[in-house]
Structure formats: C-alpha cells, structure tokens
Amino acid sequence: MLEGVQMRPLVWEEKTLLCEFRLEKGRRLPLHSHPYEQTGYLISGQLQFHIGAEWYEATPGDSWCIPQDVLHEVVVEEESHLVELFSPVRPDYLPQSPD
C-alpha cells in the first residue's frame, strides 16, 4: 500500500472484493493499470481521477467505474473516505492468513 493510503477489505467472495479506503489530502496515486474492474463510491472528500484520456472530479456521493487494463491515476484534493469493488478479486488486497 502507498504512503497516505489506508485500505481495509470489507467482504469478498469468489468474484468480487469490497474495500474501504482512507486517503490523505495531497497524495497522488500514480498512473497505473491492472486486470481488475474497479467501481467506487466517494463517501467524503474530493478526488481528481485521470481515467484513460479524461480527467474527472469526484465529490461526496459520486461513483466511478474503471475498466480493467485502463491507465488511471488519482489526485487526493481533500482527505477522502471511499469504498471500491474489484472484480475479479485482488488477491493482494485480501487479509494474509498467519503462517
């Protein structure tokens, strides 16, 4: 996880994973892509999304969907609280079982 990003997996099953995120103001999640469809809902805060070739502003109550393998980045304009659903499940976001 990146500095300034807190993530907590909430619930998951075979095909989907729901996570809660808290993002610190002023952080930037760098341009990246992944093989997961990512759908989110902003509870509080303000985000700027760069998805593909477009920039979008998200304020509380807004939602988004990022197709798999599409380049995207996020600028955190205000401390933000959000939930995101990933499909298929991201194994790297699941809790690690103690060995």
Confidence of residue 46 (pLDDT cuts 50, 70, 90): very high
What local confidence, expressed as pLDDT, does residue 98 receive? 58
What are the pLDDT digits (tens) for 6-42?
999 999 999 999 999 999 999 999 999 999 999 999 9
| Residue 77 φ/ψ region, left for φ over 0, alpha for ψ in the -120 to 50 degree band, beta for the rest | alpha
CB neighbour list of residue 83: distance below 8 Å, 6 or more residues apart: 10, 18, 19, 20, 21, 40, 41, 43
Residue-level pLDDT at 2? 86
Identify which has the larger pLDDT, 58 or 95.
Answer: 58
Condensed to tens digits (0 to 9), the pLDDT of residues 60-97 reads 999 999 999 999 999 999 999 999 999 999 999 999 85
Q: Which residues contact 67 (CB under 8 A, 6 or more apart)?
A: 37
Domain ranges (residues) in the chain: 24-36+46-79
DSSP 12-51: E-SS-EEEEEEE-TT-EEEEE--SSEEEEEEEEEEEEEEE
Flag whether pLDDT at 99 surpasses 60.
no
